[in-house]
Amino acid sequence: MGACVKELEAITGGALGGWLARFKSDGRSSHAPPPPGTRCENCETELVGHFCHACGQEASNHHKSILHVTWEAIEGMFHLDGRLWRTVPWLFVRPGRLTREYLDGKRARHVPPFRLFLVALLLFILSAETVIHKSMHDAQHGAGHGVQAQPQAQAQAEAGHGEHGKPAAQAGHDKSAKADATAQAVPGQVASELRDSLKKDGVLTDKPGADGKQQFVESDSDSTAAEKARNEWLNTQLGKAIATPGYFMVVVFGWGHRLAVLMLPILALALGACYFYRRKFFMYDHLIVSMNYLSFVFLLWALVFVLPKPVKDIAILAALIWAPVNLFATLRGVYGSSVFGAVVKTGFVWFTTQTAFLLLLLGLLWLGLSQI
The pLDDT score that the predictor gives to residue 273 is 95
Alpha-carbon distances of 191 from 115, 124, 147, 174, 238, rounded to whole Å: 34, 20, 20, 27, 12
The answer for residues whose C-beta is within 8 angstroms of residue 113's C-beta and 6 or more apart is 99, 102, 288, 291, 292, 295
The partner residues of 39 in beta bridges, in order of sequence, read 46
- The string of pLDDT tens digits covering residues 168-227 is 445 444 544 444 444 344 444 444 555 565 556 555 555 555 555 566 677 677 778 888
What are residue 39's phi and psi, to 5 degrees? -110, 150
Compute the distance between CA of residue 302 and CA of residue 55 in angstroms, rounded to an integer.
40
If you compute the radius of gyration of the chain from its CA atoms, what whole number of angstroms results?
Answer: 28
The pLDDT score that the predictor gives to residue 210 is 54
The answer for residues whose C-beta is within 8 angstroms of residue 139's C-beta and 6 or more apart is 186, 187, 189, 190
CB atoms within 10 A of CB 129: 19
Contact, 332 vs 341, CB < 8 A?
A: no
Compute the distance between CA of residue 188 and CA of residue 9 in angstroms, rounded to an integer.
30
The pLDDT score that the predictor gives to residue 25 is 40
Q: What is the 3-state secondary structure (H, E, C) of the chain?
A: CHHHHHHHHHHHHHHHHHHHCCECCCCCECCCCCCCCCECCCCCCECCCCECCCCCCECCCCCCCHHHHHHHHHHHHHCCCCCHHHHHHHHHHCHHHHHHHHHCCCCCCCCCHHHHHHHHHHHHHHHHHHHHHHHHHHHHHHHHHHHHCCCHHHHHHHHHHCHHHCCHHHHHHHHHHHHHHHHHHHHHHHHHHHHHHHHHCCCCCCCECCCCCECCCCCCCCCCHHHHHHHHHHHHHHHHHHHCHHHHHHHHHHHHHHHHHCHHHHHHHHHHHHCCCCCCCCHHHHHHHHHHHHHHHHHHHHHHHCCCHHHHHHHHHHHHHHHHHHHHHHHHHHHCCCHHHHHHHHHHHHHHHHHHHHHHHHHHHHHHHHHC
The pLDDT score that the predictor gives to residue 6 is 45
Mean pLDDT by 10 residues, the chain (372 residues): 45 39 45 79 84 79 62 56 80 93 88 89 86 70 51 48 48 46 43 55 54 64 79 80 74 77 93 92 94 95 89 91 96 94 96 92 84 79
Compute the distance between CA of residue 95 and CA of residue 99 in angstroms, rounded to an integer.
6
The pLDDT score that the predictor gives to residue 179 is 41
What pTM, to 2 d.p., does this model score?
0.66
The answer for residues whose C-beta is within 8 angstroms of residue 94's C-beta and 6 or more apart is 329, 333
- The string of pLDDT tens digits covering residues 51-62 is 888 887 877 665
- The string of pLDDT tens digits covering residues 234-262 is 878 877 777 777 777 777 777 777 778 88
